[in-house]
Each structure stands twice: as C-alpha cells, then as structure tokens.
Structure 1
Amino acid sequence: MTDFRALHRPGTPLLLPNAWDVASALALAEAGFAAIGTTSLGLAAAAGLPDGEGYGRAETLALVRALRGRLGVPLTVDIEAGFGGGPAEVAELAAALADAGAAGINIEDGRPGGTLAPIQAQAELIAAIRGRVPTLFINARTDTHWLPAPSSAAPASAAPASAAADLGETLARAEAYLEAGADGIFVPAVADDEEIRVLVGELAVPLNVLLLPGMSMARLAGLGVARVSTGSLLFRAALAAAVDTAGAVAAGGPAPAARLSYARVNALAGAKLQ
C-alpha cells in the first residue's frame, strides 16, 4: 500500500474524497483515488446524529473496522474534536483506529457551542495521540476561519469566514500543534490566495484546505497546497441527487438509468479491494 505521508506533496496536492460508509469508501477506492477520508457530517447524519457535538465515536470506529483489509489505499479518519474525551481517551481511540487500519486522523479545535478550544488544551490532545500512536498521521485542523478564539466576546454566528479571520491566531495554533506532534495542518474555509500562500510559506508541514465552491485543483496546486479535502461535499451531493431523482420521477419523468447497477454495487460491497 502507498505510504500515506508520501502522498502529501506541496504543489501536487492529494485530492482526498471523504466517504461516509463502506459502500462509498469502496467505490471511491475502486475509482482510483490514492487515499480516502471520512466525513463526520456524512457519517453522523447517516446514523441520525448531529455533527460536531461529540457523537459518532462508535459509528466511526465501526466503519474503520468494517473497511479493514478491504480498501487497498490509505484511510484517514475524521474524529471531530475527539468525541468529547480527554487526552487519554482520545489517544486510546486513535490507537484503536490505527489497529483497525487507519493511516491517519483529523482532529479539530472547534468545540460544541461554537468556540475554539484553548491552544494548550488542544496541544495536549495531540501530544497524547502522538505519544500513544507514533506512526499515525495527525492532521491538526484549526477552525480559526470559522470560529472565534476563547478570548473573543463575539458569538460564533458573528464570525464570518476567511475575511475576518486572524491569520496570526491560525499560525500560533498551527505552531503549537506542530510542536505537540502534528504532521499536517488543516485550515478549512481559508479561501484567499494570499492567506494560503502565507500559510504554505510559514508552515514546515503539508497544508490541507477544504475544497470550496469555485476552487480548482490547479489553482490550489499553484499556491503550494499539499492536500485538498472534499469534506461533506460528496455526501451532500449524493443526498441531493437522491432527492432530485425521486422528485423527477414524481413529477412524471421517466426513471433514469443508474450509473451503477444493482449487481455492480452488490459485488463492490462484497469485494476485497487489494
């Protein structure tokens, strides 16, 4: 299997599609993507749970275990903020995921209620994971472009994306997380070219960005980005496609031909992709 770390190349970014169940992960791997991530929103929503509120631990672990030995490419797992555990609990979860075959994890500093965790508290989580699982790729996500810092009096709803974000806060958090043992930094919602250039230039590790409307891989490659995540985009697109298809038939249209046949999906679900 390809070394997951080696896939992070500034200027030749890894496009990481995010799956939400076994079928979506296997289909994306079969389609030729070099690595697969998970989407916490997709996984939580499929289980009837809210995203970002500390739920979904059992479902996340179950998905990774169900994919053990079947994917054929590296898998990195979104564990939100650790699902509410302290450093020791989060480190044990990371170890369980690694034992089940995960090559990496994504851990964020956003917290339920719409604020950022104190830098030191988040660094302690990362350090605990690094100490427990030395080989796991830790992608440290900082939500500074979405949420206010703990010292800010502004509510989360008042914090617009990128334009009002404090790049200094982003860099301070990134450096603390790297010192604690992170292997990469993920800054979702950063969209300004100059901000991306600054982050790429200042950080000594791969920069991961979220694919936002209007972005292209060519543009992000030119800025030096090393990893591009689709986040919940594919799950939301699939859900919208299901609703649109049902709506079109209900409106009197003909039943469309599915791109994936029943037999193909059934075979895929039972396949061991190696």
Structure 2
Amino acid sequence: MRHDTAPATPTDAGPATSGPHATPGAAFAGLHHRWGRPLFLPNAWDHASAAALAARGFAAVGTTSLGVAAATGLPDGAAATRDQTLQLALTLGSGPFLLSVDAESGFSDEPKEVAEFARELWAVGAVGINLEDGLGPADLHAAKIAAVKSAVPGLFVNARTDTYWLGDGQGTLKRLDAYQQAGADGVFVPGLTDPARITALVRHLEVPLNVLYSPDGPALPELAALGVRRVSLGSLLYRRALGAALDAVEGILDGRTPSGGTTPSYGEVQALARGTG
C-alpha cells in the first residue's frame, strides 16, 4: 500500500483524520482516537490469515511475532526473525488494509538499527510498528522510540512495556511516561486486565492505551467503556488455529467427523492469493 493514498474502503474506517485524501498513516492513527470505539486489531501470521481477516472487513491487521517465529521454526522474542518479519511485511504491505508490524524489541539494541528497520517497514507499506521493552532499560527503549519517530515520523509507534507480562506491574507509569516523552503514538500493556488499573492508566496517559485481549479479562464492550483505545489479539488466533488443527486430527483418528468452527473450502483459500481475492 502506497503511503500517499487512502486504504480501500475498510468497514472499520471513519477515523478523526479520515477523508478522501487521508494518508494510510493518518487513517491508522485516527482509528486510535474514537472514544468508546477502540481499534480491534486481529493479528495475522501469513498472507492467507491477513487476507482472510481483511475479507471479513477489518480495516487494520497486525502481525504476531510468535506466529511468525513458530511458522519458521525460530524462537519468539530472541531477535531471530528480523528477515522473516520484513518479508511478511513486504508480502502484506500492499494489501487493502492498514498494516501494523510486531517487531519484538526492534531486533537490535542499537537505536539507529531499529530506526533503519522501521524505515524498511514503512517503505514496503506498513503504517505501524509495535516495539516491546522486554523489561530492558527504559532509557534504551525510549531511545529506540525517539530514533524511529525521527527517521519515520508517519509510522505509528506502539510502545509496549512488559511490566505486567513479565512482572507484577511495578514501574509501569515511569516506563510509559518515558515512552510518551520519547514520542510514542500509543502504549501497550499486555497482561493488564484489572479494570481499576486500566482506568487509572487511561486517566494518566496522554496517548492511546492498548491492551491485550484475554479470555479471562474484560470483554470488548467493557474495555471500550474503560477508555481503552486499542485491543489486540496477539498470538491468540494463531494458537487457536493450531489447536483446532490438533483437535481435528485427533477426532479423525477417533473416528469422528470434524465439526464446529469454520473450514474454508480449497477454492476460498485459493481466492486469498494476491491478485485473486
């Protein structure tokens, strides 16, 4: 997708910066600024999954680093999938949807190298990047954010802190403040599910709050009411797809016909190929 043209009629369009001449970057940012209607962002791991989600009407699609890593037999969160992530972005960046890329911690501890990777993502059509701190030094993560925003001002930087994902939540405000000041367009706190703490963060922050949907946490309408502006699915869809495949093969071995869920036909999957769907 070129960055000087608007996305193709997604059903979740209508951001504050929308219009016939809105750029994809501005459109994606606008989807985070609709009070009471958070951006619901499903995460894909290959072309078919992204195309299928777009065909269901999602204006924006993210990638999942776990899905990308697992699909290629590499570990997640180990800076091992830079090339695979960029290749997927190249495949998806020209699609009829807004693309945000999960780039782990930027695949480098050098802010300049992270900024260069962000430039490459922008060049192939991505409009957003997710950068996680992995509880590394907050000042280093802030430097990465600042470098990316300096290099690619139009790229939406979603700055993730792992204070709840890997810890007990201590230091969340300090880290998020540093990331806001560095230029983050939004912040992401996976593992945070307590409504009171979500409300406190929303009131404190100057940028949109992104949370990870949890089957055990608040439902989407409640998250919207709390002021959350973006709800991501992370690796959930990939893990559900893998689980469905295991359930199906075990059922067949037990003499049962696979049932439940949706099974696209061969032709429907073929139609997801670029240029035919």
Once the two structures are TM-superposed, the CA of residue 67 in structure 1 deviates from its matched residue by 1.6
List aligned pairs for 1:241-256, cutoff 5 A: 241-254=244-257
Q: How does 1:97-136 map to 2 (within 5 A)?
A: 97-110=121-134, 116-136=135-155
Distance 1:195 1:249 in 2: 45
Aligned to 2:48: 23
Q: Is the 8 A contact 2:66 2:235 kept in 1?
A: yes
Letter paired with 2:222? R
Mapped partners of 2:35, 2:133: distance in 1: 24
Aligned partners of 2:41 and 2:233 also within 8 Å: yes
Give the partner amino acid of 1:165.
G
Secondary structure of 1:268's counterpart equals: coil
Q: SS in structure 2 opposite 1:76?
A: strand
2:99 is the counterpart of 1:80: no
Give the corresponding residue for 1:173. 175
- 1:195 matched to which residue of 2? 197
Q: What residue in structure 2 maps to residue 146 of structure 1?
A: 165
* Superposition TM-score, scaled by structure 2 size: 0.87
Give, as a single letter, the amino acid of the residue that structure 2 aligns with 1:266.
Q
In structure 1, the partner of 2:113 is: 89
- Rounded to whole Å, the distance in 2 between the matches of 1:54 and 1:78 is 12
What aligned pairs does 1:235-246 form with structure 2 within 5 A after superposition?
Answer: 235-246=238-249
Residues 213 and 256 of structure 1: is their aligned pair in 2 closer, same or farther, counting only changes over 3 Å?
closer
TM-score (norm 1): 0.88
Confirm whether residue 61 of structure 1 aligns to residue 80 of structure 2.
Answer: no
Structure 2 regions of 5+ residues with no counterpart? 1-6, 8-12, 14-26
* Mapped contact 2:92–2:99 kept (Cα < 8 A): no
Alpha-carbon shift at residue 146 of structure 1 (Å): 2.5
SS state of the match for residue 146, structure 1? coil
Deviation of residue 91 (structure 1)? 0.4
1:263 is the counterpart of 2:267 = yes
Give the Cα–Cα distance (whole angstroms) in 1 for the partners of residues 76 and 35 of structure 2: 30
* In 1: Cα distance, 2:257 partner to 2:236 partner: 27
How many angstroms apart in 1 are the aligned matches of 2:142 and 2:258?
52
Distance in 1 (CA, whole Å) between partners of 2:263 and 2:61 is 21
Q: How far off is 1:66 after superposition?
A: 1.0
Contact 1:10 1:206 in 2 (8 A): no
Greater than 6 Å deviation, 4+ residue runs: none
CA distance in 2, matches of 1:6, 1:24: 24
Residues 148-181 of structure 1 show CA distances to partners (whole Å, capped at 9, x for unaligned) of xxxxxxxxxxx4xxxx322xx1111111111111
CA distance in 2, matches of 1:82, 1:208: 19
For 1:96, what is the secondary structure of its paired residue? helix
| Paired position in structure 1 for 2:215 | 213
Aligned partner letter, 2:207:
V
1:269 is displaced (CA, Å) by: 1.5
Aligned length in residues: 250
Higher RCO (CA < 8 A, seq sep 6+)? 1
Q: Give me the CA root mean square deviation.
A: 1.4
- Structure 1 gaps of 5+ residues are 111-115, 148-158
